[in-house]
Amino acid sequence: QTVELITSTEDDVDIIKVHLKPQSETKQSLRMLTDEVSQIQEVRYCLKTLREQMAARQNGHNKALILTLASLSGSSDREESVKLREATRRLYAQLKEMEKRHQEERDRLEADSHACRISLAEQSKRLEEVEQQAEEKTQQVEELKRQLGSAEIENSVLKEKMAAAETELLQLKEREEEEDTAEERCAELEEELALLRKKNHQFDDMLKSQQRKIRLMIEQLQNSRTVLQERDRAVLDLEERVAFMQAENKELRDHMEYLLAGQDPPPSSVENKPEIVYSKPLKPTSPTNKALPFIKVIEIKS
């Protein structure tokens, strides 16, 4: 009988393989086999105990090291924690203050923008009314010019008739001793001439009145155009103010978003922004109908 120890690769199991020999050696081999099995079990128990002791010792060393490090860094961690809390509290207070200022500035800009929009709407409405009035005045001026042209034509016709009647009257006066009917014709011509003179006088008065009306209409039209130009400049100025406020509001919003994201904000351009310090329309030194530009002086803070 032969005993062979085989170690299995699964579950750390030792397999004892026994080869039987003749009957004469059975007892001795069985006794040797029993002794070897006992020794193997004892060795395995010792190995297991040794592993447990080494694991326990390693855990003890790790715990001792952790406690030592914790005791050494405990004081510095507390100081860092206090500093971190103070810095966090200070940054939070600054953030709240920035949020408050940003909200106040945004409310102010929104109120100004709303007021500018209302004023712009009113100016646009007035501008439309003035444009409509100017269009009506232009139509009235054209109608008066047409009537004036017709009156001038009729007046020239009447003057021609008056000249012909006067010529005929003179001729009849020269021949009145020749014909009895000349007196009647002369009287008729005198009446017709008086009527034509009266009509001519009325037409002259009407022409003068129409000319005065046309001059008045032209002056009103020029005044309306001046008002339109002033309204246009006011509208452009309001649009510039609205655009400037919107840009300033956007810059503040971006600044606040950077702060909320925990990033350093970009350099602000509010301090270097241009500021309108003086503006006025140009006034002509001589009478003219040409529209002049609008002066605007801009100061840039350096």
User: Per-residue pLDDT tens for 176-220?
Assistant: 555 556 667 677 777 887 887 887 788 778 878 877 888 888 888
Looking at residue 277, its pLDDT comes to: 44
Tell me the percentage of the chain whose pLDDT exceeds 70: 64
7 forms beta bridges with: 14
The domain defined by 95-269 folds into Helix Hairpins (1.10.287)
Q: What is the DSSP string of 99-146?
A: HHHHHHHHHHHHHHHHHHHHHHHHHHHHHHHHHHHHHHHHHHHHHHHH
**Does the reported pTM lie above 0.85?**
no
* Sign of torsion over alpha carbons 209, 210, 211, 216: positive
CA-to-CA dists, residue 237 to 34, 183, 261, angstroms: 113, 80, 36
Q: How is the chain split into domains, by residue range?
A: 2-65, 95-269
Looking at residue 40, its pLDDT comes to: 76
3-class state of residue 267 by DSSP: coil
Query: Residue 73 pLDDT more than 60?
Result: no
> Quick one: pLDDT band at residue 65, thresholds 50, 70, 90?
low
Question: 135: number of CA atoms within 13 Å, CB side?
Answer: 6
CB 116 within 8 A of CB 242: yes
> Quick one: pLDDT band at residue 270, thresholds 50, 70, 90?
very low
Query: Residue 302 pLDDT more than 80?
Result: no
CB 5 within 8 A of CB 14: yes
* Sign of torsion over alpha carbons 38, 39, 44, 45: positive
User: Per-residue pLDDT tens for 275-300?
Assistant: 444 444 445 555 555 555 545 544 44
Query: Distance of alpha carbon 300 from its chain centroid, rounded?
Result: 23
User: Per-residue pLDDT tens for 130-164?
Assistant: 778 778 877 877 877 787 777 778 777 777 877 77
